[in-house]
Amino acid sequence: MKFIKGFFDFFLPRHCPCCKNKLTLDEFSICNNCLSSIKEADPEILSIEYERKFASSGIISGFTSLFVFEKDKALQSFIHSIKYNKRFLNAKYLGKLISNDLSEQISRWNIDYISPVPLHSLRKAERGFNQSNYIATGIGKRLNIRVKKNLLKRIRYTETQTDLTLKDREENISNAFKSKHKRLIEGKTFLLVDDVITTGATIRECGKVLLYEGAARIYACSAAIAE
């Protein structure tokens, strides 16, 4: 297997999306130096961010994240390689990292289904795929939890949240989702998955819809959390 990988690497060398250096045979989507430079989300950070983003709403019962998102650093470059360069396998790799490091936490929640945060059909057509689907697939495969990609649908095309204030983000995402297949939602526990959680507005809106349709509990997971 290593010989085959080395053969292809000779003719089609793979490069780290962050530093652009050539990847070794033992490196998959990102070089070890760049991966080690990404700040991990420790329990203290996660506790603080849960209180800030989710506690008061009563929608999200628990949340976890693997990394802390830092602007203009390695993780941003890696996520941009997924969103804008169609490196969807990098999203699966993020899912694998999440499941490797956070499996104990997620297993304690007794999740019935993983539900990736959906993109609007127009944005999905522009991008070609939904990166959250691939992250969710990486988690579900490792933890043997079924991924349901179509339980939620984004029904309103919203402007990008990047430059919006907290209040504007809430208004921008309000009533942007609807549920499908209610019979699969009632009484079930869900894990919502996204690439980066910033204010938590999108996750809360998705969770609100699932709870309205009778879900038992909603948890959330992301590759990164923005402080």
Measured at the alpha carbon of residue 80, what is the angle toward residues 76 and 82, in degrees to the nearest 5?
125
What's the rounded Cα separation, in Å, for the pair 184 and 32? 41
pLDDT (0 to 100) of residue 7 = 41
pLDDT (0 to 100) of residue 77 = 96
Could you say which DSSP state residue 56 is in?
A: G
Q: What is the three-state SS of 86-141?
A: CCHHHHHHHHHHHHHHHHHHHHHCCCCEEEECCCCHHHHHHHCCCHHHHHHHHHHH
Instruction: State CA 118 to chain mean position distance.
Output: 11
What's the rounded Cα separation, in Å, for the pair 139 and 96? 6
Residues in the chain: 227
User: Tokens 């795929």 identify what position?
Assistant: 129
pLDDT (0 to 100) of residue 164 = 56
Instruction: Classify residue 59 by burial, with Cβ atoms within 10 Å: 0-12, 13-18, 19+.
Output: buried
Class in CATH terms, 41-225: alpha beta
CB distance 15 to 28 below 8 Å: no
pLDDT (0 to 100) of residue 156 = 75
pLDDT (0 to 100) of residue 163 = 57
pLDDT (0 to 100) of residue 181 = 84
What's the rounded Cα separation, in Å, for the pair 197 and 68? 10
Between the two ends of the chain, the Cα-to-Cα distance in Å is: 41
pLDDT (0 to 100) of residue 95 = 95
pLDDT (0 to 100) of residue 122 = 72
pTM above 0.85, yes or no: yes
Instruction: Classify residue 124 by burial, with Cβ atoms within 10 Å: 0-12, 13-18, 19+.
Output: middle
| Average pLDDT along the chain, 227 residues, taken 10 residues at a time | 48 87 90 97 97 96 97 95 90 94 95 93 73 95 94 78 60 82 93 95 95 97 95
Strand partners, 221: 64, 193
Query: Which residues neighbour 123 within 8 Å (Cβ) at sequence distance 6 or greater?
Result: 157
